[in-house]
């Protein structure tokens, strides 16, 4: 039984994330937690405080009513006996409540919609999506671009530079999707200029291939264009990739993309879902350092 958290503000983008999640897990038993948060204004004056109290009650009622309407819509359009939906209305900041629910309900994945006609560029422009991606440390976050219609992810890209050791738990979400949809996995390595892998990179690539035993996968080494995001955008479009996955850790592609100049981020117009997997524990870091020491001793 999977536990999936879907934050919603009742927008079209949020509904798009709901429909994607339902389709993605159509054949699996799931608990879907539908979360809506609200934060009425706060005032110090007694008169304004009374108004704020009234406002809080109104906003709370709107939140609960919105969730009830969402449940009715789901049941009408996507009734699936394998799926159970639990609504959560919370007077809290969105990111804080998401973090708490991930821990309290053993959430396996957070799925959310991104705003804007250019889809994934919103993930890299300080939206709620990027704040959640940075805050959630124990499960993957899947960001669904606005207007994206579900397609079975039979082509999945995993962008990595091979500079860091991978743990099985970090690769598990990708491998599970590959097995579920009989997907091809395309490992994308972006380089400023094409050159041979270092010993560390080669070791990590070898271990990655061992983890992917039984998975159809290909290695693509491509030259960076004017930015990592633009390079991945072109790759995704040319190979008709249905889902782009990345690990989120220090110096990763994901981190680099969030720090790219705005003019470059504005050029990222991909309409592909983005799966961001957090750095799960210190085992990978410890293993990486041990590997570096062994290679150093060998030389």
Element (H or E) spanning 224, and its range? none
Q: Is the pLDDT of residue 170 over 80?
A: yes
21-78 residue pLDDT tens: 999 999 999 999 999 999 865 545 454 445 455 677 888 899 999 999 999 999 999 9
Q: Is the pLDDT of residue 209 over 60?
A: yes
What average pLDDT does the chain have? 83
pTM for the full model? 0.84
**CA–CA gap between residue 125 and residue 140 (Å, rounded):** 19
Query: b/e string for 223-236 if b means 16 or more Cβ within 10 A?
Result: eebebbbbbbbebb
The share of the chain scoring above pLDDT 90, in percent, equals 58
Q: Is the pLDDT of residue 298 over 90?
A: no
Structural domains in the chain plus CATH codes: 2-112 (3.40.50.620), 151-298 (3.40.50.620)
**Of 38, 28, 39, residue with least CA distance to 8:** 38
**CA–CA gap between residue 55 and residue 57 (Å, rounded):** 5
How many contiguous H segments (helices) and E segments (strands) does the chain have?
10, 10
Q: How many CA atoms lie within 13 A of 126 on its CB side?
A: 2
**CA–CA gap between residue 275 and residue 157 (Å, rounded):** 10
pLDDT at 121: 44
Q: Is-contact 95 128, C-beta < 8 A? A: yes
Element (H or E) spanning 113, and its range? strand 109-113
pLDDT at 197: 92
pLDDT at 222: 92
Taking residues 240-249, what's their average pLDDT?
91
């Amino acid at each position: 039984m999977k536990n999936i958290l879907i934050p919603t503000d009742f927008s079209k983008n949020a509904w798009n994330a709901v429909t994607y999640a339902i389709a993605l897990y159509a054949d699996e038993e799931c608990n879907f937690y539908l979360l809506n948060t609200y934060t009425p204004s706060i005032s110090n004056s007694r008169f304004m405080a009374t108004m704020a109290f009234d406002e809080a009650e109104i906003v709370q009622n709107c939140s609960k009513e919105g969730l009830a309407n969402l449940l009715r819509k789901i049941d009408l359009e996507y009734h699936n006996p394998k799926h159970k939906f639990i609504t959560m209305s919370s007077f809290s900041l969105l990111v804080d409540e998401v973090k708490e629910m991930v821990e309290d309900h053993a959430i396996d994945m957070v799925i959310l919609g991104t705003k804007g006609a250019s889809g994934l560029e919103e993930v890299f422009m300080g939206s709620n999506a990027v704040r959640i991606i940075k805050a959630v440390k124990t499960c993957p976050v899947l960001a669904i671009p606005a207007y994206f219609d579900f397609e079975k992810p039979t082509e999945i890209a995993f962008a990595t530079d091979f500079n860091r050791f991978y743990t099985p738990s970090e690769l598990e979400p990708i491998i599970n999707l590959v097995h579920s949809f009989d997907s091809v996995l395309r490992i994308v390595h972006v380089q400023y200029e094409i050159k041979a892998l270092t010993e560390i990179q080669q070791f990590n690539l070898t271990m990655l291939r061992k983890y992917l035993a039984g998975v159809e996968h290909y290695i693509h080494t491509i030259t960076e264009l004017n930015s990592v995001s633009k390079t991945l955008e072109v790759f995704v479009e040319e190979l008709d990739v249905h889902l782009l996955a990345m690990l989120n850790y220090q110096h990763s592609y994901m981190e680099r993309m969030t720090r790219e100049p705005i003019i470059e981020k504005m050029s990222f117009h991909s309409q592909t879902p983005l799966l961001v997997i957090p750095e799960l524990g210190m085992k990978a870091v410890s293993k990486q350092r041990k590997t570096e020491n062994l290679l150093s001793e060998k030389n």
